[in-house]
């Protein structure tokens, strides 16, 4: 990973903060893109516990780290630790990317655009569809804001009521369109899934290393359902495997990861990376595993 460094005293550092973080493929795709363009940058993954998040951003300023990606569980809390928030990140209420401009930290969100691009490239039409989103964290917020204006009905399903209800209430108020919240229970899937066109999983259920679990029992899935699981490690989650066997259309999270990463990369460097090279680097890594 370090063979692209030219001068360690001048190398620009980009990092990703999360907890846990060992599953992240972001360092692989960004470092190969930096090397491909001859940029003196390096991207590193850092595990930051929630109670250390403020100190992490103090370190970003102190060490002049040029930027960062933010992942689970920090996307919402990061709002309070940056100096400026882009309109889209403020609207979503979550940050997944920051840029350090002479000690001023600016936060934005590229998840929404990345997700929409992934759906578009897969020819998945969301217009007038009934959509169910599992989860109510930062990724769920981004997906909900990016999809709601084109959907027919939007349902938020989450394990904890407060977060799910708050998201549904915010969306209803923002878009003047009723968004319903339901508690994460098998009964809800039994009752609601028959009328759902697109199911989006934004939870970490099924993510490496717990790759053999799924958020939804297989028997509730139906062949008119499209599954978008934003997990990318593994490439095919248990939910996706079950859905394929039931005749559903499936889309994993790799393309969303790539497209949101491209937007972050362009913001940090003012250069466009080789998208196919970034994607191949992750596919090669995951196939090795």
The catalytic residues are 75
Q: State CA 219 to chain mean position distance.
A: 27
Residues 6+ apart with CB under 8 A from 8: none
Q: How far is it, in rounded angstroms, from Cα 13 to Cα 56?
A: 14
Q: How far is it, in rounded angstroms, from Cα 105 to Cα 79?
A: 11
Q: Do residues 143 and 133 lie in contact, with contact meaning Cβ atoms separated by under 8 Å? A: yes
Secondary structure letter of residue 234 according to DSSP: S
The CA-atom distances, in angstroms, between 147 and each of 22, 182, 255, 267 are 30, 18, 17, 23
Q: Do residues 256 and 115 lie in contact, with contact meaning Cβ atoms separated by under 8 Å? A: yes
- Measured over the CA atoms of residue 130, residue 137, residue 25 and residue 258, the dihedral's sign is positive
Residues 6+ apart with CB under 8 A from 113: 146, 259, 260, 263
Q: Do residues 236 and 229 lie in contact, with contact meaning Cβ atoms separated by under 8 Å? A: no
Edge to edge, what strands does the sheet with 104-108 contain?
A: 41-47, 12-18, 67-70, 97-101, 104-108, 84-85
Count CB neighbours of 42 within 10 A. 20
| Torsion angle (degrees, nearest 10) of CA 96, 215, 177, 125 | 80
């Amino acid at each position: 990973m370090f063979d692209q460094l030219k001068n360690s005293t001048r190398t620009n550092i980009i990092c990703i903060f999360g907890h846990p973080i060992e599953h992240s493929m972001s360092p692989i795709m960004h470092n190969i893109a930096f090397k491909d363009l001859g940029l003196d940058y390096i991207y590193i993954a850092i595990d930051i516990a929630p109670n250390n998040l403020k100190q992490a951003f103090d370190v970003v300023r102190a060490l002049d780290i040029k930027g960062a990606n933010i992942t689970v569980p920090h996307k919402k809390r990061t709002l309070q630790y940056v100096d400026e928030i882009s309109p889209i990140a403020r609207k979503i209420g979550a940050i997944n990317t920051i840029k350090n401009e002479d000690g001023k930290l600016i936060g934005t969100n590229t998840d929404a655009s990345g997700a929409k691009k992934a759906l578009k490239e897969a020819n998945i039409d969301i217009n007038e569809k009934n959509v169910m989103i599992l989860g109510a964290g930062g990724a769920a917020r981004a997906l909900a804001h990016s999809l709601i204006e084109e959907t027919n009905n939007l349902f938020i399903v989450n394990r904890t009521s407060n977060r799910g209800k708050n998201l549904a209430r915010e969306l209803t108020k923002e878009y003047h369109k009723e968004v319903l919240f339901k508690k994460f229970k098998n009964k809800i899937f039994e009752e609601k899934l028959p009328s759902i066109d697109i199911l989006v999983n934004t939870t970490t259920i099924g993510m490496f290393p717990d790759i053999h679990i799924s958020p939804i029992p297989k028997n509730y899935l139906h062949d008119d359902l499209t599954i978008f699981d934003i997990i990318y490690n593994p490439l095919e989650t248990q939910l996706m495997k079950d859905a394929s066997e039931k005749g559903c259309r499936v889309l994993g999270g790799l393309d969303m990861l790539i497209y949101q990463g491209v937007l972050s990369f362009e913001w940090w460097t003012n250069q466009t990376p080789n998208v196919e090279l970034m994607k191949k680097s992750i596919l090669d890594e995951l196939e090795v595993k």
